[in-house]
Amino acid sequence: MPKLRLAVLGSGAGTNMQSILDAIAGGTLDAEVVCVISDVADAPILERARRHNIPARFLSAAPYKTKLEGPAEEAYIQAIREVGADTVVLAGFMRIVKPGLLAAFPGRVLNIHPALLPAFPGLHSWKQALDYGCKVAGCTVHFVDAGTDSGPIIVQRTVPVLEGDTPETLHARIQAQEHLAYPEALRLLAAGRLSIRGRTVAIA
Ligand code: GAR
């Protein structure tokens, strides 16, 4: 299998991207991060990428606030194609991606979500789980489809919700599992072991 060429899109700290870089450096993931793009000019993920000598750029997604569409979507597609990426990794990218991007990279756009989907799609999912009184929470890596956090699931990892948890302590526990889940999902993809059958991802 040729090594994966990953374009990472993120809006925040970039700890999931870091876990992917660590897996690559540690020899457990056969991939290369060929670019990092953020819709937030001063997002720490950009600085983190540059420290690893990865081309990193801010690309505005204006005028929209919550989605990637229109000319901005075109610019993202072009930037991702330009570096020869074959897989788009959404790692804390806080926008809904639209059919244009999905059509440009069919079956090759992945996302990580801080909840056990289909529970708690959308924002601040760990807080939703806490407020709901869940005893178990977790994270999901999934292929992206045209819905919100609704695509076929590749990997899920669970954590307990503990007495006295705050949104912050629960999010931290979930994030520790995210950092295992994303490299794991990408390892399966890199090995050619994933196929999408309807809603289900078969793992060979
Ligand atoms: C992660 O917890 C990720 O699951 C979440 O944003 C955080 C990004 O952290 N994503 C979403 O909520 C998407 N709806 P990071 O920048 O440190 O990887």
134: domain CATH number?
3.40.50.170
Residues having CB within 6 Å of any atom of ligand 1? 10, 12-16, 45, 91-92, 112-114, 175, 178
98/133 same-domain check: no
Tally of domains within the chain: 2
85/116 same-domain check: no
pLDDT tens profile 50-78: 999 999 999 999 999 999 999 999 999 99
pLDDT tens profile 81-99: 999 999 999 999 999 999 9
Mean pLDDT over each residue of the chain, to the nearest integer? 97
Residue 150 within any structural domain of the chain: no
Taking a C-beta distance cutoff of 8 angstroms, is the pair 129, 115 a contact? yes
Q: Which atom of ligand 1 is found nearest the CA of 11?
A: 16
89/13 same-domain check: yes
Nearest Cα residue to 158 out of 183, 133, 180: 180
Residues 6+ positions from 165 with CB-CB distance below 8 Å: 130, 173
Residue 128 within any structural domain of the chain: yes
133/78 same-domain check: no
Residue 108 gets which letter from DSSP?
A: -
Reduced to 3 states, what is the DSSP secondary structure of residue 37?
A: strand
35/64 same-domain check: yes
Domain boundaries, position 62: 1-106
Nearest-CA residue for ligand 1 atom 8 is 92
22/122 same-domain check: no
39 CA from centroid of ligand 1 (Å): 14
Report the relative pairing of strands 4-9 and 31-38 from DSSP bridges: parallel
58/42 same-domain check: yes
124/100 same-domain check: no
d(CA 149, CA 152): 9
Nearest-CA residue for ligand 1 atom 7 is 92
Reduced to 3 states, what is the DSSP secondary structure of residue 113?
A: strand
